[in-house]
Amino acid sequence: MAKAHELSDEKAYREHVNLYMYRNPEIFNVGLYPIPDKLKKFDMRLCVDQEKDFELIKILYNRLYVQGCIIDNNNVISLFNSEPELYNINKRVHQKNV
């Protein structure tokens, strides 16, 4: 029978998919990629936790994705600069805590 903390962990791992990797460094090689200074001044939420996040990412994908290419951060910034209303799509969404 599963212990209470194991069930709690399982639920947390489903909600925060990277948490399992961070808690099991013997299995995964986890590192952090530093945010370039030029990106730190932008208040963009580019994760997908809520429906509004997904709505924004779909817009970015549909406008910027070219088959076989990675979307460049500079193109994302340019799109936000040219269409500042994009900031409003998910600005009320707050990051969930573990």
Q: What is the pLDDT of residue 7?
A: 47
On whether the CB atoms of residues 79 and 60 are closer than 8 A, the answer is yes
Report pTM. Answer: 0.68
Half-sphere exposure of 26 (CA within 13 A, CB side): 0
- What is the average pLDDT across 75-91? 93
Would you say residue 90 has pLDDT above 70?
yes
User: Would you call 91 helix, strand, or coil by DSSP?
Assistant: coil
CA distances 48 to 4, 89, 94, Å, are: 28, 12, 11
For residue range 63-73, what is the model confidence (pLDDT) as tens digits? 999 999 999 98
Q: Which pLDDT does position 98 carry in this prediction?
A: 63
Q: What per-residue confidence (pLDDT) applies to 29?
A: 87
Q: pLDDT digit string (tens) for 13-58? A: 877 778 888 888 899 888 877 877 877 777 788 888 899 999 999 9
- Predicted confidence at residue 5, as pLDDT, reads 47
- Higher pLDDT: 36 or 81? It is 81
The count of other CB atoms within 10 Å of the CB of residue 15 is 11
**Rounded distance between C-alpha atoms, residue 23 and residue 6, angstroms:** 13
Beta carbons of 60 and 69 less than 8 angstroms apart: no
User: Quick check: helix, strand or coil at residue 28?
Assistant: coil
